[in-house]
Homo-oligomer: A and B are copies of this chain.
């Protein structure tokens, strides 16, 4: 640990891309206000990036800028290393190197933390250095801080939310324009809202990374993101969004973590129908939002930009300021990074999806032939699943495949999946049935 001292705290930035540029902008442009709030200066002293020529519109006077990440980590004037290169391997190596050198680390890299969080946080705890990662979940919204500190007196009942802006943008656009997923995705890519390879976003993996961190923090559990059942939004049709509206819901790609009796935890990322009247349902475009229920506080809700240069930089610099405060006081480990000491995180039983009980939206693709509906209803009935509403669209195009929509009464998902396996094997059913769980919790 650094000793208590009066000089400025030095920041070294590895990765001078979008978020790195935003971070440099905040540190240089808002230096006065940051100094006033801290009582001492927080100074960007060094930057390392493979690309040193491009002009990022940041005043670099007095800042040592080259390609040497190792040199940056070793430099005595660097107290805190900001890792903003993204990805797994190099990011992991440099982060561990910085920790080993006794440097504090701030990162926005959720993929790194989801895959190597235990290793990184464990190494930091041993070294007595801090790892700040507010920017890794829900961008600029200080939701990790709320969970870890503001609501620290609460037993957390549930945490759920819209954790990926790209998919929320796509769903909002599909709803607005009634265009197919692929059409909207292409436009999102052209506008820079989606990556050239959109897999991480549209398959729900990015949301699962973030949910793993939120759930660990909420319940003190060890959770690898690969344990989280994850379904993306590729299978959704504009029809699903339209039907959801007619039933009083909206479909959002939700990351959900809930405490169940007996210390078990329910976690999943999937398209979910939520009440139109809920605040979460009002979240449009590329924004993020998280609902946290605590036993004392009840429901609380947090909303803001989940990505982007400046919102993410806001969270990165917020973490830098927090760590700088500890450095000048010569202390560390004020708050456990995942609410509980890393050594105390427990592996908790996960509730199998088959044991979840909910109303379900089912969209069948069935040939419009007499008797088909009775087959569908029969398979559901055999498995004890009650039907609340049934809607067949475009009746009359006999012999062609038409969508049949069914809302079920509350049912065990295991039973529903069993019925769907029977139904999807029927000759008159032309494509796998889409199941969307309905979550009435606001």
| A binding-site residues for B, Cβ under 8 Å | 22, 26, 30, 33-34, 36-37, 39, 134, 140-142, 145-146, 149-155, 220, 277, 279, 282, 294-305, 310-311, 313-318, 320-322, 325-326, 329-331, 334-336, 339-341, 344
For residue A283, which residue of chain B has the nearest CB? Answer: B279
Given contact pairs A26-B153, A149-B142, A297 touches B311 in the complex (Cβ within 8 A): yes
Q: What is the interface of chain A mostly: helix, strand, loop, or mixed? A: mixed
**Can you offer 15 A-B residue contacts whose CB atoms are under 8 A?**
A26-B153, A30-B154, A34-B153, A36-B340, A37-B336, A37-B340, A39-B341, A140-B296, A142-B300, A145-B146, A146-B150, A279-B303, A300-B302, A325-B335, A331-B331
- By the criterion CB–CB under 8 Å, are A296 and B339 in contact? no
Q: Which of B30, B220, B279, B295 contacts A153 (CB 8 A)?
A: B30
Given contacts A279-B303, A325-B335, whether A296 and B26 have CB atoms under 8 Å apart is yes
Besides A30-B153, A277-B282, A294-B314, 11 other CB < 8 A contacts? A36-B220, A36-B344, A140-B296, A142-B149, A279-B303, A297-B311, A297-B314, A298-B305, A298-B310, A299-B305, A302-B302
Residues of chain B with a CB closer than 8 A to A315's CB? 150, 297
A184 CB to nearest B CB, Å: 21
Specify the chain B residue showing the minimal Cβ separation from A304: B300
CA gap between A4 and B48 in the complex, in Å: 39
Report the bound CA distance from A257 to B295 in whole Å: 32
Select A318's contact among B141, B150, B334, beta carbons within 8 Å. Answer: B150
Q: Which residue of B lies closest to A39 (CB)?
A: B341
Contact present for A339 and B37 (CB under 8 Å): yes
Contacting residues, chain B, for A149 (C-beta < 8 A): 142, 145, 318, 321-322
Whether the Cβ atoms of B298 and A140 lie closer than 8 Å is yes
How far in angstroms is the closest Cβ of chain B from A435? 29
Contact B140–A300 (Cβ < 8 Å): yes
What residues of B have a CB within 8 angstroms of the CB of A152 in the complex? Answer: 34, 37, 317-318, 321-322
